[in-house]
Amino acid sequence: MTESTPQTRSSIIPCLRYRDAHAAIDWLCRAFGFEKHAVYDDGQGGVAHAELTYGGGMVMLGSVRDNAFGQHIAQPDEVGGRETQCACVTVADCRAHYERARAAGAEIVDPYAEKEYGGAGYGCRDPEGHLWYFGSYDPWQES
C-alpha cells in the first residue's frame, strides 16, 4: 500500500476553486503527492469537478466560476492572500513531504518544525495562493 492509497473514507472533504484547475491538479499531484481520483472537464477548457485523494482523505476542486455558489468564494489574491481556513493533511514522512513541496516551488509560510505536542509540520501556499498545512501528527492515533 502506498502512502497515498485510500485506507478509509473521510466524510469531510475540502473544496477549492482554481483559475487554472488543470495546472493546479498537475501541481498538487507532483508537489504534494495527491492522486487523481476523477477529473471532469467543463467543455470550455476548465474543470467542472475533480477529486484528488491522499491516504484516506480527499479534496475536491474545480475551475473558478461566476455562478451562485462561486460568488461566495474569493481567491486568495483577491483578499490580500488571507484565508479563513486551510486543509490540514496528515503525512507519514513530514520532512520528505516538506522537501518535495519546496522543490516543486511551494511558498513556505511556516517552515518545517518538530512540534511540542508530537510530530512535525509545515505550512505552505500552492501556486494560486491557497494555504495548506502538512504534519505527521495524527489525531486519530491512540497515544
Asked if residue 9 belongs to a domain, the reply is no
Asked if residue 6 belongs to a domain, the reply is no
Decide: 24 and 126 in contact? Cβ < 8 Å: yes
Asked if residue 4 belongs to a domain, the reply is no
- pTM: predicted TM-score of the whole model, two decimal places: 0.89
Domains contained in the chain, number: 1
Decide: 3 and 55 in contact? Cβ < 8 Å: yes
- Predicted local distance difference test score (pLDDT) of residue 11: 82
Cell of 62: 474545480
Give the whole-angstrom CA distance, residue 93 versus residue 70.
35
- Predicted local distance difference test score (pLDDT) of residue 6: 45
Asked if residue 10 belongs to a domain, the reply is no
- Predicted local distance difference test score (pLDDT) of residue 27: 98
- Predicted local distance difference test score (pLDDT) of residue 3: 56
Run means of pLDDT, 10 residues per run, the chain, 143 residues: 55 94 98 98 97 95 94 94 92 97 98 92 98 92 70
Cell of 141: 492515533
- Predicted local distance difference test score (pLDDT) of residue 7: 54
Torsion sign (Cα): 95, 56, 1, 127:
negative
Asked if residue 23 belongs to a domain, the reply is yes
The enclosing domain of 56 has a CATH number of 3.10.180.10
Asked if residue 107 belongs to a domain, the reply is yes
- Predicted local distance difference test score (pLDDT) of residue 1: 37
Asked if residue 44 belongs to a domain, the reply is yes
Q: Which range of residues forms the domain containing residue 102?
A: 15-72+82-135
Cell of 52: 484528488
Asked if residue 1 belongs to a domain, the reply is no
- Predicted local distance difference test score (pLDDT) of residue 95: 97
